[in-house]
């Protein structure tokens, strides 16, 4: 797709983006903003109905399951076939699960890693050959404040976000000389469909009574934060800046709570932090 410059003479090639998890939440909001700015946006989601709905505002719907090698490969090949380029990958699809380390089943642990880690891996490896060929591109990964702060009930979920932060740091160094930038965006609590799903799984997964106290505390204070947290607008705007800024930063914390928790986690001794978290759980 091309557009015309203000002079009306010089054709300008639209930039091409692939956003995973674009059927709802942050991904959907980002897709709308990029389309408004003239981008060609492939809005990918495993929910075919949600993906199809993005055509209403001008995105290109793409049914894609990031847990499937063939699904990701087919989707990326279609984009390259259609436009001969990919300027932006936003690896945004994610799966949340709040549960104690012991109570989380092996199957659930594999499921969360399959989406949050291996799903990102599939997408990165699918787009990098084209980005290397064109000597340009940007990869944005949605992580979380829990890429830094691992607390009661968030162990396995935090592990996936720690993994993506580590991958992003290494990949950024590996591809910079190729004209490719790598960015992470770190949301805090935000009202999207993520919270209800994660807390619903918390209730379903309870089995060991010895964890009742701390898990009730998690539900109370973290659930309370989700209930009073703002909508996704700030995170969407931050994702947009990370995706389009001329001079890009490595990491984009979304809000004050992310900056505060990161600071506390890296400065406060762990024994004090543990005591504070457990005190919150008892309040």
pLDDT tens profile 204-221 = 666 788 887 777 777 666
Delimit the domains of the chain by residue range: 2-211+231-266
pTM of the model: 0.86
- How many Å apart are CA 89 and CA 131, to the nearest integer? 10
157 is catalytic: yes
The sign one gets for the Cα dihedral 201, 205, 206, 212 is negative
- How many Å apart are CA 138 and CA 243, to the nearest integer? 7
The sign one gets for the Cα dihedral 22, 74, 162, 253 is negative
Q: Which residues of the chain have pLDDT under 70?
A: 1-13, 189-206, 219-231, 280-283
Q: Which pLDDT does position 197 carry in this prediction?
A: 52
Q: Which pLDDT does position 109 carry in this prediction?
A: 94
- Residue-wise pLDDT tens digits, 158-182: 999 999 999 999 999 999 999 999 9
The single residue of 157, 211, 226, 266 carrying the catalytic annotation is: 157
The CATH number that domain 2-211+231-266 falls under is 3.40.50.720
Q: Which pLDDT does position 204 carry in this prediction?
A: 64
Q: Is 191 left (phi over 0), alpha (psi -120 to 50) or beta?
A: beta
Q: Are 22 and 30 in contact (CB under 8 A)?
A: yes
* Token duo for residue 184: 């992470």
Q: Which pLDDT does position 246 carry in this prediction?
A: 94
Q: Which pLDDT does position 239 carry in this prediction?
A: 97
Q: Are 269 and 156 in contact (CB under 8 A)?
A: no
């Amino acid at each position: 797709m091309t557009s015309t410059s203000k002079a009306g003479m010089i054709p300008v090639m639209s930039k091409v983006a692939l956003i995973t998890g674009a059927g709802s939440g942050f991904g959907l909001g980002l897709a709308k903003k990029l389309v408004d700015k003239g981008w060609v946006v492939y809005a990918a989601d495993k929910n075919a109905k949600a993906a199809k709905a993005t055509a209403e505002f001008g995105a290109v719907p793409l049914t894609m399951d990031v847990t499937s090698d063939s699904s990701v490969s087919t989707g990326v090949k279609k984009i390259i076939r259609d436009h001969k380029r990919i300027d932006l990958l936003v690896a945004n699809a994610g799966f949340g699960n709040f549960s104690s380390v012991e109570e989380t089943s092996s199957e659930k642990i594999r499921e969360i890693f399959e989406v949050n880690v291996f799903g990102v891996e599939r997408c990165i490896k699918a787009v990098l050959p084209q980005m290397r060929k064109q000597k340009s591109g940007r990869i944005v990964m949605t992580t979380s404040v829990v890429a830094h702060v691992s607390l009661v009930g968030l162990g396995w979920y935090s592990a996936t976000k720690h993994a993506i932060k580590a991958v992003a740091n290494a990949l950024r160094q590996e591809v910079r000389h190729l004209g490719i930038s790598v960015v992470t965006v770190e949301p805090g609590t935000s009202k999207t469909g993520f919270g209800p799903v994660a807390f619903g799984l918390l209730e379903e997964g309870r089995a060991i009574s010895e964890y009742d106290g701390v898990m009730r505390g998690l539900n109370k204070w973290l659930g309370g934060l989700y209930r009073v947290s703002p909508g996704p607008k700030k995170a969407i705007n931050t994702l947009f800046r990370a995706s389009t800024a001329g001079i890009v930063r490595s990491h984009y914390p979304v809000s004050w709570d992310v900056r505060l928790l990161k600071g506390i986690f890296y400065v406060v001794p762990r024994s004090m932090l543990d005591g504070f978290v457990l005190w919150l759980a008892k309040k």
